[in-house]
Amino acid sequence: MMPAASSSLPSPRLHRRRPFIDCRRWQPDGRDVTNRSPSHELIDLFGKMLEELGLPATPDPRVEGYPLMGSFWPTAGITLAYVVGVWLWREHLNRKRNLSRKSTTNGYTVPKAAQPAQRYDLVKILMIIYNIAMVIYSGFLVIETLIMISRAGYTLGCVPLDRGTGELSIRLVNIGYLFYFSKFIEMLDTVFFLWRGKLDQVTFLHVFHHAAMPPSIWWGVKYAPGGIVFMFPLANSFVHVIMYTYYGLAAMGAYRFLWWKKYLTVLQMVQFVIFLLHQSQVFTYNRDCDYPKVFPAAICFYAAVFLVLFGNFYVKAYWKRERLSKADWDAAAKKTSSVTTNGHVSNGVLKHHQNGVVNSAAATSHSKDSKKAV
């Protein structure tokens, strides 16, 4: 007869595979988390990282009743719908453009769908109204922010987190929320570009900028409106006043007043430098500032990324082109039917659009008429 198995030997059922990452070492209270899914562990780790950076334990109760502030998922859903919708619309326009080019190469022309002549006038009117409205909206945010921070005694130094219920505190919360909501309205920039078929306008920089803003600002308004991050809506709204003024003048056809286009890009880069200098103080000489550091850190990251992207755009669109001599520019234009520049030619008429394409032959023959183009 076989001897009985020793009771000291462990049961095979107790031999569990050791997880790749033992997440229990991250639990200060010693809780057993071996049965939790990896997604829960990642969420816990992310939450602890945010707590280390000073994220408040609870959301700001003053914004509970604001639209879209009850949960993060509506904001994420709208942003995802924007990105997917832009991609699908852009692919559709690309297919139509490629079909048109292929039909022209093969010697026949695909007839265009009949469109009312008033359509482009309608688009132009809507663009003018939209840009004027955004100038007013952004201007209101600038003026209201300046009034509130002056009354509240804000300085360029540390401004601690304030969850008061006084009039000034509530109005500062409203400014933060209106700034957040404006980022959804600004998605109409892309709609107008695609509506007019300006695919060259819908770049990675453009889509990334509009898609990144609402989700990131939501967290700031939800947990820590006001405080030292007041510089973000103030400077950004001021830049948008100038930017939408430019777009409005372009929609009206006032191109003779738009010689300062490249300086608009410079102004945007200056804005990002201001963000970096102002928000980084909580990590350098003002470490004792009583404000959640996760939000200044996010603003610094955002500013650094967009400073690089806008700087790259400026170098390609202006600096390199200005360094070319006129002879080199003309020689390069003769080698191809189109060159990258700051305008767009449609039916032989020069139109003013950022990052567009100019047909060199048409631009040369209609250089005088281009100043009067709409």
Catalogue the active-site residues: 209
Collect all residues with Cβ–Cβ distance below 8 Å to 195 and sequence separation of at least 6: 123
Asked whether the beta carbons of 224 and 172 are under 8 A apart, the reply is: no
Q: How many CB atoms lie within 10 A of CB 123?
A: 14
Asked whether the beta carbons of 332 and 339 are under 8 A apart, the reply is: yes
Phi/psi at 352 (nearest 5 deg)?
-100, 105
Asked whether the beta carbons of 221 and 176 are under 8 A apart, the reply is: yes
- State the SS3 of 180-216: HHHHHHCCHHHHHHHHCCCHHHCCHHHHHHHHHHHHH
Q: How big is the chain, counted in residues?
A: 374
Collect all residues with Cβ–Cβ distance below 8 Å to 128 and sequence separation of at least 6: 248, 251, 252
Q: Which two tokens stand for residue 329?
A: 């520019």
